[in-house]
Amino acid sequence: MNRGSENPAIYRTLKDVLERQAEVVSVWFEPDAIQKRYLAAEIEPQRVVPPTGPESPQLEVHWKLTPPHDEFRIDYADPNVGFHCGWHQDEDHTDLGAAHFQYQTAWMETPHYEGVVFEAASPPKLLWECCGELFEDVVPNYTTER
């Protein structure tokens, strides 16, 4: 593929991955399906562990295919408990490596950052890996402890 040309299959494929997560209610393009700047997903508050609410947490996925390393941001925010976290592979915090994980709880003054290495190499599998970690480890562990 020519460098710089965009592959519209990327967001179509990632939308499908998000729609298959048990916690996800709906997925849409922002600001609309014509511009397709990024993906947003509504999370069912009662399906996450521990359950939250009344507002729905939201997931956002930005992705750009830039060989050899894609640029992406996968962000989760729960407004009910003031928690947000994300996996980012961009030019921020390059001292931590190519990609980093960050999170901030309501009782933290600044976000915590740490380097992260993924097993997956392709965008759909990598998003799958992050969703698994988010709902099985991150949310249960970071939204209950103090």
Partner 1 sequence: MSDEPARSWTDSLSAAERVEAVALTVSEPRTANWIASEAEVAHETATKYLKRLTDDGKLSSEERGQQTTYEPDLVGQYLIEMRELYEGHSPDELAASLEDMNEQIRTWKTEYDVETPNELRASLVRTEDATDERERRQAARKWDHLETRRRLVEDALRLYDRFPGERHSTSA
Q: Compare residues 54 and 68 and give the one whose CB is closer to partner 1.
A: 68
> How many angstroms separate the CA atoms of 47 and 51, rounded?
6
- Residue among 82, 40, 83, 31 nearest 58 (CA): 40
Q: Which residue from 15, 17, 43, 59 is in contact with partner 1, where contact means CB under 8 A?
A: 17
16 Cβ neighbours under 8 A, 6+ residues apart:
124
Q: Applying CB under 8 A, does 96 fall inside the site for partner 1?
A: no
Q: Applying CB under 8 A, does 31 fall inside the site for partner 1?
A: yes
Strand 24-30's sheet: what is its strand order? Answer: 24-30, 38-43, 58-64, 71-78, 83-89, 99-104, 112-116
Q: Compare residues 14 and 105 and give the one whose CB is closer to partner 1.
A: 14
Q: Applying CB under 8 A, does 64 fall inside the site for partner 1?
A: yes
Q: Which residue from 25, 92, 97, 114 is in contact with partner 1, where contact means CB under 8 A?
A: 92
Q: Applying CB under 8 A, does 26 fall inside the site for partner 1?
A: no
Other CB atoms within 10 A of residue 56 CB: 18
Helix (H) and strand (E) counts for the chain?
Answer: 3, 7
Q: Applying CB under 8 A, does 110 fall inside the site for partner 1?
A: no
By CB under 8 A, the residues from 113 to 142 that bind partner 1 are 120-125, 128-129, 132, 136
> How many angstroms separate the CA atoms of 107 and 83, rounded?
9
Q: Applying CB under 8 A, does 1 fall inside the site for partner 1?
A: yes
Q: Applying CB under 8 A, does 49 fall inside the site for partner 1?
A: no
Contact residues toward partner 1 (CB under 8 A) are 1-2, 4-10, 12-14, 16-17, 20, 22, 31-37, 64-68, 70-71, 91-92, 120-125, 128-129, 132, 136
